[in-house]
Structure 1
């Protein structure tokens, strides 16, 4: 069960780029939750994935020489759901019908920003990653998720307050 959680039920075993596959699985489940009327499962899932990651990753790493094996993607799932929460909650509160078609930037932008922060590892993301321990495995993706979520909100604000009125 520890391996199933850490690999997010096998998503981390997909190649190439298991972190991207883990993030895509998180996005797909978030969009499905939103489309079926369960948008608040996304922030709840972020919290649950965070707790599950902090609980399972140390146990999983105990049997590995690598301090951050690529198949461990529960950290990407937690971070991606955190990033998506920044757009999904406001869209849900404004009764936006469809995240998939009507408000697609609400999942595309957090996905792209999260992957950029997770891969490039700027500032606090990189500091957490350099810890080299189980907590660092989780923390770098949570920082990436926070920054991606905030970046998504800033970009949405720029679009809605400045660009959209100029376009018409």
Structure 2
């Protein structure tokens, strides 16, 4: 496999069937944990930006000359969106100096909400998906991740009564 393919498919995870997007989101979780453990919230933010830029490049390269703008095996966009969904947890753990794993219900919510918004594609998520280019492939997951992150914060506020 070429570096572009390895990057776009998250080392081949995108070839797992069924539901490669769900597998991509699932594999993003331990990677997010590792990045957070190494450098906390600031490194996870940098990781989101770097993964977005690298993913955009890999997606553009992999779809160049193809009629299909968003092949199912490309799942680097799921990693970016899932990491965005986890940012509230990373920030809370980093700022309060607690284990990010202590917020395990938030991990489940981030995963479930991200998958919901990525599959459902409401409003701006669907707009980005309909762009039909590599930027749209990445942006729909960014927006789904933002919606999921907002959902995670709302659920945390409800649970904690604030």
TM-score (norm 1): 0.88
Instruction: Report the alpha carbon displacement of residue 48 of structure 1 after superposing the two structures with TM.
Output: 1.1
Aligned to 1:82: 84
C-alpha displacement of 1:132: 1.3
Contact 1:30 1:39 in 2 (8 A): no
Please state if 1:141 is matched with 2:123.
no
> Once the two structures are superposed, what CA deviation does each residue of 1:16-75 show, in whole Å capped at 9, x if it has no partner?
1110111111112222444x4533332222111101112221111014331110000011
Provide TM-score, normalisation by structure 2: 0.91
Partner of 1:72: helix, strand, or coil? coil
Q: Which has the higher helix share?
A: 2
Corresponding residue for 1:106? Answer: 106
Q: Partner residue of 2:53?
A: 51
In structure 2, how many angstroms separate the alpha carbons of the residues matched to 1:123 and 1:33? Answer: 31
Query: Take 1:95 and 1:59, find their aligned partners in 2: how far apart are those partners?
Result: 40
Alignment gaps of 5+ in structure 2: none
Matches of 1:33 and 1:55 in 2, distance apart? 21
> 1 CA distance for matches of 2:47 and 2:107?
15
**Greater C-alpha Rg:** 1
Question: Does residue 27 of structure 1 match 2:24?
Answer: no
Residue 2 of structure 2 is aligned to residue 5 of structure 1:
no
Q: Secondary structure of the equivalent of 1:103?
A: helix
> How far apart are the structure 2 equivalents of 1:96 and 1:17?
33
Matched, 1:39 2:60: no
Deviation of 1:89 (Å): 1.1
* Counterpart for residue 72 of structure 2: 70
**CA–CA distance in structure 2, aligned partners of residues 33 and 51 of structure 1:** 17
Return the alpha-carbon distance in structure 2 between the equivalents of residues 153 and 134 of structure 1.
29
